[in-house]
Amino acid sequence: MKWTTGSRENIEDRRGQGGFGGGMRGGPMSLGVVLVLVVLTLLTGKNFLSLVDPGAVTGGDEPAATSGPVESSPEEEKLVDFMNFVLKDNQETWNQLLGARYQTTTLVLFRQATRTACGFGQAASGPFYCPGDGKVYLDLSFFDELDRRFGASGDFAQAYVVAHEVGHHVQNLLGLERQVRQQQQQRPDMANDLSVRMELQADCFAGVWGHSAAQRGHLDVDDTDEGLRAASSIGDDRIQRQSGGTVSPESFTHGSSAQRMQWFKRGLEQGQAEACDTFGR
């Protein structure tokens, strides 16, 4: 991609904060909370205590030291600058498309774990959007996994990931996210299908931004292939195969590789939000 470094805007950097710090409601962890985690560990066999930042545990009202200087490399800071560019360019695109309906989102950078209005967020879950606070959450180490595990390298592959999450923000602003959640509650048997349609629409919205970026000369020759490869690499069917299991379409939550490529490409080619009606098809 062709991009430039600019002042960082709408970036909330929690990389120097402990896993239970940074924007957490309720402040530091009490020993009582730790005891709950101990019980959960014993009951489930999953080590919930491994997620605790020792500096966040307190015995009473004293404040916990959950933040510190960000330890980073020049390469990581360059990646943050790129994320800043992609976020800003996405927001400018959607502001033009939606006008007054668009409201700015924030990209929260964290390491390992952080609190959100949607609950506890972990890097292991991958990048995500929280409709409760309207923020996008990202642990930059995900891009290493995207390259090593899924074979999707390149800056436009990384940009696609951010654009997909901004797509969820657009869904939230348009009221689509709320409608889907209501339908899932009313029709639990259709919960997975509705989830797939929502994720595919976010893919298509990412493509809409890609179309705009291409028109403004930001894309290189190979960028489209990088984006399509990234969309394909995180299809539910491919992930299930990599995990050693059988492919079970009824358990899909994000869509198959072919579906994700199809809808991302549709957005890239047509460049209109109206082309992304995954619910009517």
Q: Do 39 and 139 lie in a common domain?
A: no
Give residue 229's pLDDT band: very low, low, confident or very high (50, 70, 90): confident
Q: Do 110 and 242 lie in a common domain?
A: yes
Residue 43 is predicted with a pLDDT of 56
Determine the structural domain holding residue 51 and report its residue range: 29-58
Q: Give the separation between CA 281 and CA 277, rounded to whole angstroms.
A: 7
Whether 24 is covered by a domain: the verdict is no
Q: Do 226 and 196 lie in a common domain?
A: yes
Asked if pLDDT for residue 201 goes beyond 80, the answer is: yes
Whether 3 is covered by a domain: the verdict is no
Average pLDDT, the chain: 83
Whether 64 is covered by a domain: the verdict is no
Q: Do 90 and 117 lie in a common domain?
A: yes
User: Please, are residues 109 and 12 in contact by the beta-carbon 8 Å criterion?
Assistant: yes
Residue 57 is predicted with a pLDDT of 41
How many domains does the structure of the chain reveal?
Answer: 2
Whether 23 is covered by a domain: the verdict is no
Q: Do 45 and 81 lie in a common domain?
A: no
Handedness of CA 25, 31, 35, 40 (dihedral sign): positive
Tell me the average pLDDT across 37-41. 55
Whether 86 is covered by a domain: the verdict is yes
Whether 43 is covered by a domain: the verdict is yes
The model scores a pTM over 0.85: no
Top pLDDT among 91 and 126 is at 91
Whether 212 is covered by a domain: the verdict is yes
Asked if pLDDT for residue 37 goes beyond 60, the answer is: no
Q: Do 40 and 149 lie in a common domain?
A: no
Top pLDDT among 83 and 42 is at 83
Q: Do 38 and 100 lie in a common domain?
A: no
